[in-house]
Structure 1
Amino acid sequence: MITSIFNKSKPINFILVFFITLLAFIIARIGQVNEGDTLMFVIKQVAVLFIAYISILLLNFIASKNSLTIKNNYEILLFSLFLLLITQTTSQSNVLLSNFFVLLALRRIMSLRSQKDVKRKLFDASLWIAIASLFYFWSILFFGLIIFSHILYVDNNIRHWIIPFLGVFTIFVLSIAISIVCYDSFFEICNITPQVSYDFSNYNSLKYLIAITLLFSFGIWSSIFYLQNIKKQKKAFRASFKIIIIAAIIGFLIVTQVPEKNGSEFLFLFAPLAIIISNYIEIIQEKWFKEVFVSILVIIPFILLML
C-alpha cells in the first residue's frame, strides 16, 4: 500500500512528506517551548521550517532532473522519514542552512552534464559550498565533490581547475570584508572550527543506536545494488549516479569528523542516502519484500518517538 502511494509522483505525496517533516520539526522543539513565545522566535522557526521544505523540493528536482529516480517520490519520503528518525537534524538552523546550500551546489554540479556554461556552473557550485561552510565548517568537505565531478564532466582546461578555488576565495574575501565593516573583526562571521573528534559516546542511547543501525544497514545494502545498477544506466547519466555515491561518502566523513556530535551532522548524509535507497526500492521485484522494506523505514521512526 505504501509503495503504491509513492510509486508515482502525486500532490498527496508532498502533503504527506511535509506533514512528516513538520512532525519532526515540532518533536525537536518540544524542549524549547520555554525559550519564549516571542514573535521573533516564531518567525525564526517558521523560516527554518521553510528552509527544510525548500530542501525537500530541491532534492526532488535534482533526482527527477537527472533521472536519479524513475518518476516517483521515494527520495523525498525517505528524506522526511530520516528527519523524523533523528529529529536533532532539524534543531540546528545553521546545519539546515548549510545542507540547503550544499544541495544548491549539488544541483549546479549535476548540471555540468550538459557541458554548457561550465565556468559559471563550477563557480556557482564552489560559491554555494563556501557559503555552506560559513554556517557549518565541515561542509567544506563537499568541495571534493566539485573536484570529482570535474574529472567526470570537464576537460583538462587549466582555467576550469582554477575557477572553483576562485569561488571559495571570493566568499572568503567577502566574509572578511563584512566582518571588518560590521564587527570590526577579521573573522567574526567565519565559522572556522576545524577541530576533529572521534568521541561517539553521545550516540550511546537506544534511540541513536537503532537509528544509526537502520541508516547504515539499509544504506550499505542498497549501495551494493546501486553500484551494480550504475552500469545499466544511460551513459549520459552514469556520472550523476557516481556523484551521489561520493556525496554519501563525504556525508559519512562529516559524521565521523565533527567535534560536536549532537545528531544534526547526519543531515548531510540524508539526501544522497535517500536517493541510493530509492534506487534499490525501484529494482525490488518481489512486491511483498518491497512493501516490508519500505514499511520498516516508515514504522521505525514513529516507534522511536515513543522511546
Structure 2
Amino acid sequence: MTILVITEHAGGAIKTSTLNAVTAAAVIATFTGQPIHLLVAGYKAQGVADAASRIAGVSRVLLADAPQLEAGLAENLDATALALLRRKSGIYSHVLVAATAYGKNIAPRLAARLDVAQISDIIAIVGADTFDRPIYAGNAIATVQSCDPVKVVTVRTTAFDPAAEEGGSATVERIEAAPDTGISRLVSRELTKQDRPELTSAAIVVSGGRGLGSAENYAKVLTPLADKLNAALGASRAAVDAGFVPNDYQVGQTGKIVAPQLYVAVGISGAIQHLAGMKDAKVIVAINKDPEAPIFGIADYALEADLFVAVPEMTAAL
C-alpha cells in the first residue's frame, strides 16, 4: 500500500502547500510504513517533476504530461487521478491534497467517484485511519475515523510544517493522462502580481478591518507598515465586503487560513469567522480602540488606541 499526494504547482514551481501535505503523508507513514508518491499533472511539467523528486521523504513521482492538463482544470486532473487509482487498484490507501482552493476543487470530485467519504481540513493525524479536524469555526475538534479502502484527505497547511525541498532522490515515472473530458475549458485567468510574500505562507501578516473606514485608509495606513515588515497584507471579511481590498485578501473561515510568526490585526474586532482563520499565529498583536473587542481575548499584545495614530507611529519607529 502507498500514500499518494497530489501536487499543486504554478508557473513551473511547486506550491508550499504541497510540502505541507507531504509532511502530513509522512506522519501517516510513521503508522503504516508506506512509501509516498507524488502525482504531478500538467503540460511541459518535467521541471516540476524533477523538483518534486528532490522533496525529502518522497519515493516516486508520477508525471502525467498532456496539453489537456495545462490549465489545471479540476475535471481533467480528477479524471487522470481516478484513472491512476483504478489502474493500480488496491495500491493506494490514502490520497492527500492541500486544503487550498485547488485541493478543495479536486478532492470532493475524486471522493465521490471513488464512492468514499472525504476527510476535510485535517489538523492532526491520530492513526492511519483516524484524523482530527476543526468544526464550529475551530471551537471544537472532531476526531474522525474512516473505514474506507481509500482515504481522500485534505490537509490544513498551517497545521503541518513544510517538508524539505531538497534531500530526496525519488524516481520519476511517466504515466498516461486521461483524455480531455470536454466539459470545461479555461476562458481567461487574471493573476494578481505583488512584490510581497504570499498571504498563506508569509511569516508576517498585517491585516485590516472595518475600523479603517475606506480603501484609501487601508492603503494609507497599512501598506507602509507591511512594507517595513516585509509582510503580506490581509483583511477581515467585513473589510472585503466593504470593498476595501480584493477577496483574495480575506483571512477567516470563508477566506484563507494563516499561521504566521506574527499577525498584526488593525481595526479588526475579532468575529469568530475571522478568528478561525488566524488564531494559530505564533504572536498576535491587536490594535483597536474598543476595549471590549473580542480579538483582545486571544491577542498576545493588545493596544487600545486610535489606529490612525498608533499605526503611523509604529511604522515610523521601525
In terms of fraction of residues, the more helix-rich structure is 1
Q: Which has the larger radius of gyration?
A: 2
| TM-score, scaled relative to structure 1 | 0.23
In terms of fraction of residues, the more strand-rich structure is 2
| TM-score, scaled relative to structure 2 | 0.22
